[in-house]
Amino acid sequence: MVDLPLDKVQGFLKEVSPFWSLPDTVLKEVAKTLLIDYVPQGEIVFGPRNTDNTFLYLVFSGVIHCFNEKEASKQTLRYVAEKDHFGAELLLTGAADYTAQVQEDMVCYLVRPRVFKNLVTQFEGFAQYFDVLLKPLSVQICHHVRLKKDLFPDRIQLEKSSSSQFDTCISRLVNRVPVCCERRSTASEIARLMTLNGVGSVIVTQGRAPVGIVTKNDLTEKVLARKRGGDVTASQIMSRTLVTMPHTGSCFEASLKMLANQCHHMVAIKNGALFGVISQHDLIVLQGANPIAVVGAIDKQKDVVGLKTCVRDMSVVQKVLLAEGGGIEEIWNLMTAFRDTLTKRLLVLGIEALRRQGEEPPIFEFSWITFGTPGREETLLGKNVLEGFIYRDPDGNDSRQTASYLQKLSNQVKEGLLQCGLLDDVRGKVLCLSESEWRHKILEQISGNAALDSETLRIFDLRGVLEQWRMVDALREFVFEQIARNQDFVMRLTRLNDPDKIPKGFYGDLVLTPRGFREEFELKKEVLEPLVDAVRAFALAGGVTALGTLSRIDALCEKKMLPKELGADLKAVYTWIVETGLRRSLQESDGTQWTLDPQQCCADEKRLFTESFGVIRSFVKRVHRKSHDLKT
């Protein structure tokens, strides 16, 4: 080992985490203390029983193989390449539970223990970075996501600049004292208050507590339309269900809550007391690409051309939310509400189109079912593969007429979804089946009379968009009853998921797979699908009725079928990879391709991806074992 001249390392340090976060003056002093070393291929740098070489190793060139030895076989943890580091465990804990062996001749810079300790002591961010490396994977991912959002601007190009709905509290939209009245106030008095104060709603109070709200719509629909007098009291016409949230809540949370409750006003609460009122209009003014404005516009559209405009606007909203730091769960919730509302509008337009052709809908009970990612309420703006009708089995005389009408209606909706870009052009299907036909189709899957693959498994991620008669709930109950009677189905389900097809990690800028090296890999097919399929299989085997992947993981943890730490890791891995895939695809202006090039990943991302692959692979194997145990 020899001392390294200063001018050879300063530029390099600025490209290595977390040294790039240090001030230039500090980097210059660190560079003076570094050593350089050359280690030939095959030499072991350190191992569990050989911890003499205590340094932080910064790789300038070459590749290091980090592995565990179990039962005379090597289990690869990861390959460390240029601009990455290893050996922090030795400095932090004095021990390492893995072996680091040179795979390709290595040149590296050595950070002395004393220098490392000084940096950890002086710089909080530097210390936190290495401290997090010893934490569970879920903590590492959360730290990485926060750090990246705080320090690096988003590269997604927005069509307009706007205020952040995530950073803006609803309290900032409250610019006046709330207009209130008492329960005995009359409709005439309330109308006068609205006019004098220029507001569209008045809060009804009892003492200081809000007990209801009267809006302009209430006056129109409950007084004028019914030809009631102006002496009607507030208590007779107010809406008693107030939608409230703390005044510190974000505007985006308010948007979602208004959408979920189908209301136009929300009450802000501070210390348990009334603070103010915000409206949908306030949120729309805050940001042009507002979710409420886009979703609200759906019901105003008279044809599919107008709905296509709504889809385009919602794609802008999706980009805005990502750029502002919105989490993937928040985006899922919004896109699910958007897609459901659009589907319902297509149903209305379809019924109106058939009525113009002289066909009136028969009297029947039905629901629309969505499958796959929308069925799990993990909706993104993309093309789904399976949708469908479920309807009550009609009497013999009406069966043909009902089936014919619903088939025509489903064709109308299918064409609309295709034109809006929400149904796959080639593989997309809209099935129109009665309750008994759906049960027969599902029973064929469970009993083994029909082939199982990732495509057909979507049928077990089902959710009703129109659930007036609980038909979809009853169908889900039927699914679990049949699985409980046929545990062989679970075994067949788990065998579809081969853990050895999941990537193993990275070798420099190449992806390491069980079949060799590749230049890129598919996040959806090779990483996310195995995880989703394994969670679904385990949930079905354990009688978990939750819809989404995250809620299924939570339920499995509650039933003690899954350790809580593993559950937290799986949830963090899933949301991070989905968000990463969506972000990368939107940067390429194509939201359908989730192919990842390792050259686009920094060293920290490669490390996190590698650990994520390992967690998913171990979980899939765990599901194989547990499903066998449940059967026996």
For residue 474, what are its two tokens? 């009853």
> How would DSSP label each residue in 131-180?
HHTTS-HHHHHHHHHHHHHHHS---PPPSS----TTT-BGGGG--SPPPE
Contact 617, 629 (CB under 8 A): no
Neighbouring C-alpha atoms within 13 Å toward the C-beta of 8: 12
CA distance 409 to 406: 5
pLDDT at 160: 40
42 vs 82, 100, 106, 506, CA distance in Å?
18, 10, 10, 19
pLDDT at 161: 40
CATH of region 170-286: 3.10.580.10
In a 3-state reduction of DSSP, which class is residue 414?
A: helix
CA distance 516 to 21: 36
Q: Where are the beta strands (DSSP E) in 415-551?
A: 429-434, 462-464, 505-507, 510-513, 516-518, 521-522
CA distance 275 to 596: 48
CA distance 546 to 390: 20
DSSP at 50: B
In terms of Cα–Cα distance, which of 271, 282, 259, 343 is closest to 307?
Answer: 343
Tracing tokens 């606007």 back to the chain, one arrives at: 313
Beta bridge partners of 423: 384
Q: What is the chain's Cα-based Rg? A: 29
Contact 80, 66 (CB under 8 A): yes
Domain over 493-631 is classified CATH 1.25.40: no
For residue 494, what are its two tokens? 């788990």
Beta bridge partners of 35: 3, 110
Neighbouring C-alpha atoms within 13 Å toward the C-beta of 509: 8
In a 3-state reduction of DSSP, which class is residue 545?
A: coil
Tracing tokens 């994977």 back to the chain, one arrives at: 137
CA distance 48 to 273: 60
In terms of Cα–Cα distance, which of 399, 467, 407, 404 is closest to 436?
Answer: 399
Helix boundaries (H) for 496-563? 523, 529-541, 549-558
Contact 256, 291 (CB under 8 A): yes
In a 3-state reduction of DSSP, which class is residue 345?
A: helix
CA distance 192 to 207: 21
Quote the crossing angle between the two packed helices 529-541 and 564-587, to the nearest 10°. Answer: 140
pLDDT at 286: 63
Domain ranges within the chain, ordered by starting residue: 2-134, 170-286, 291-437, 493-631
pLDDT averages per 10-residue partition of the chain, 632 residues: 68 92 92 93 90 88 92 86 94 91 95 95 94 95 84 48 65 84 94 88 87 91 90 92 88 80 84 84 64 81 91 82 80 90 94 92 84 92 88 77 89 94 91 91 86 78 79 88 86 86 93 90 91 93 92 96 96 95 72 78 94 96 79 56
Residues composing the chain:
632
pLDDT at 362: 81
CA distance 585 to 380: 12
Full strand arrangement of the beta sheet holding 510-513: 505-507, 510-513, 516-518
What element of type H or E holds 285? helix 280-286
Contact 396, 351 (CB under 8 A): no
pLDDT at 420: 93
Q: What is the CATH architecture assignment of 2-134?
A: Sandwich (2.60)
In terms of Cα–Cα distance, which of 503, 502, 501, 510 is closest to 103?
Answer: 510
pLDDT at 158: 43
For residue 189, what are its two tokens? 């008095």
CA distance 84 to 539: 38
Per-residue burial over 594-621, b if 16 or more Cβ lie within 10 Å, else e, is: bbbebeebebbbbbbbbbbbbbbbebbe
CA torsion 555-559-560-564 (nearest 10°) is: 20
Beta bridge partners of 61: 107
Tracing tokens 């989404």 back to the chain, one arrives at: 548
CA distance 618 to 488: 22
In terms of Cα–Cα distance, which of 87, 122, 108 is closest to 9?
Answer: 108
